[in-house]
């Protein structure tokens, strides 16, 4: 046995053996993420849990509207008001001073008895934060189950409220999924979509595992009783954080319901311009540094292991003997098949389709784009609660 090891060592050298070991270890790290951690998103079924609350609870959908958002009037609000659910209301909190726009909201409210409308004035000197607006919306709502969304968002189904309401039957906090939508379909926007899908996958896989750190800003909810028991939002020094920092303090595995269905997906419109998209990602990613270290490690380890796997595999293909090159090439092919297979299934579960044919693009440039996103802070620091 010793003689065989010495012959291997003489043939491949310590450096060659170490390089082979690195490739294999990194391959198994990637295997864990895509075949185990992410794949649990595809296999997850909320209905396997025990129901703890009454079925079909009444739901209050709360949305804050800042400024004269015409798209919200014409496209988004009608979808919210025409959901197929018997017991729900839409609570709109308008932040602005345009009376004509507010009158349009009032006219819509007059035609829908289950719409509530509240106005908050804001100006450059007195900034109304999103948490303040949501707080007013919560006080205006009449139901126990509170579901939150944002402007720039359209549910893909008229049964969105119905399916999200199911989540309240199994827990006090509900989490849905969202997909980024761009006007044009090109390689640049494909990479953006995949970066956001990857973030959504990380958050959902962690939540299912019982290590929640973030929910989509446009698709989550909690009960009024739970909110009152915590005396409202924390981290009042920043405008954002209601969907992650606050929820991290109140979520437990028993309280959380992750609701994954084609009917619970919402589409979030994203800016086409690269700079605007980067600013969006950086602004709403400003809270990541406050996450628990284990959450940040989980998010970043896949990206790091992917880069190191490619670098070590390419090095092995260049410097090691032919038989090892064939083995490394086989591992690279096996990894890619596994990654595409897992991403296809998980992507469909989270609402993304048509990602397989171009996945190799994201596989290569994705870590670079994610590094660019995290390499600078947002130009607009989150607003302070006045």
Domain range summary for the chain, segments of one domain joined by +? 45-189+212-289
Query: In Å, what is the CA distance from 185 to each residue of 179, 190, 191, 279, 373?
Result: 14, 7, 10, 20, 21
pLDDT of 140 > 60? The answer is yes
In this predicted structure, what is the pLDDT of residue 5?
Answer: 42
In this predicted structure, what is the pLDDT of residue 3?
Answer: 46
What's 45-189+212-289's CATH class?
alpha beta
> Which tokens hold the place of 184?
């044009």
Instruction: List, for residues 94-106, the tens digit of each pLDDT value.
Output: 998 888 999 999 9
pLDDT band at 200 (very low <50, low <70, confident <90, very high): very high
In this predicted structure, what is the pLDDT of residue 128?
Answer: 83
pLDDT of 2 > 50? The answer is no
In this predicted structure, what is the pLDDT of residue 316?
Answer: 87
Strands 265-269 and 177-181: parallel
CB 259 within 8 A of CB 175: yes
Q: What are phi and psi of 17, to 5 degrees?
A: -65, -40
DSSP string, 324-350: HHHHHHHHHHHHHHHHHHHHHHHHHHH
* pTM, to two decimals: 0.90
Q: What are phi and psi of 272, to 5 degrees?
A: -75, -35
Instruction: List, for residues 151-193, the tens digit of each pLDDT value.
Output: 999 999 999 999 999 999 999 999 999 999 999 989 999 999 9
Q: What is the mean pLDDT of residues 61-90?
A: 94
Which residue(s) pair with 117 in the sheet? 92
List of long-range contacts for 316-323, beta carbons under 8 Å, 24+ apart: 316/19, 316/20, 316/23, 319/16, 319/19, 320/12, 320/16, 320/19, 320/20, 321/11, 321/12
CA dihedral over 319, 325, 330, 333, signed as positive or negative = positive
- State what percent of residues in the chain have pLDDT above 90: 73
In this predicted structure, what is the pLDDT of residue 381?
Answer: 63
Q: Which residue has the higher pLDDT, 87 or 13?
A: 87
| Helix (H) or strand (E) segment spanning residue 217 | none
Q: What is the mean pLDDT of residues 103-130?
A: 86
Q: How far apart are CA 277 and CA 297, in angstroms?
A: 24
Q: What is the mean pLDDT of residues 214-219?
A: 95
> Which tokens hold the place of 353?
């389709």
pLDDT of 343 > 70? The answer is yes
């Amino acid at each position: 046995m010793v003689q065989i090891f010495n012959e291997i060592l003489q043939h491949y050298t310590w450096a060659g053996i170490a390089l082979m070991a690195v490739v294999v270890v990194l391959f198994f790290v990637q295997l864990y993420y895509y075949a185990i951690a992410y794949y649990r998103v595809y296999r997850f079924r909320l209905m396997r849990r025990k129901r703890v609350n009454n079925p079909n609870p009444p739901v209050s959908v709360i949305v804050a509207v800042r400024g004269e958002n015409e798209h919200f009037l014409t496209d988004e609000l009608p979808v919210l008001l025409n959901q197929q659910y018997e017991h729900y209301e839409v609570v709109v909190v308008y932040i602005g001073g345009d009376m004509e726009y507010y009158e349009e909201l009032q006219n819509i409210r007059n035609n829908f008895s289950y719409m509530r409308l509240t106005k908050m004035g804001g100006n450059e000197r007195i900034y109304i934060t999103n948490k303040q607006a949501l707080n007013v919306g919560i006080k205006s709502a009449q139901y126990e189950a509170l579901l939150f969304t944002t402007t720039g968002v359209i549910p893909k189904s008229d049964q969105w409220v119905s399916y999200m309401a199911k989540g309240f039957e199994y827990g006090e906090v509900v989490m849905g999924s969202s997909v980024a939508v761009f006007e044009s379909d090109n390689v640049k926007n494909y990479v953006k979509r995949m970066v956001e899908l990857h973030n959504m996958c990380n958050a959902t896989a962690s939540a299912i595992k019982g290590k929640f750190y973030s929910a989509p800003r446009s698709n989550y909810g909690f009960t009024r009783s739970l909110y009152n028991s915590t005396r409202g939002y924390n981290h009042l020094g920043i405008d954002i954080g209601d969907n992650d920092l606050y929820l991290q303090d109140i979520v437990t595995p028993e309280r959380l319901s992750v609701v994954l269905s084609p009917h619970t997906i919402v589409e979030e419109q994203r800016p086409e311009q690269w700079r605007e998209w980067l600013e969006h990602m950086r602004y709403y990613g400003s809270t990541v540094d406050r996450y628990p270290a284990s959450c940040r490690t989980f998010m970043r380890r896949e990206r790091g292991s992917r880069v190191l796997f490619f670098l070590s595999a390419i090095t092995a293909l260049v410097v090691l003997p032919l038989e090892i090159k064939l083995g490394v090439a086989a591992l690279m092919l096996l990894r890619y098949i596994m990654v595409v297979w897992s991403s296809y299934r998980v992507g469909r579960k989270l609402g993304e389709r048509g990602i397989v044919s171009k996945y190799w693009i994201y596989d290569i440039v994705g870590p670079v784009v994610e590094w660019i996103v995290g390499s600078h802070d947002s130009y607009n620091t989150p607003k302070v609660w006045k």
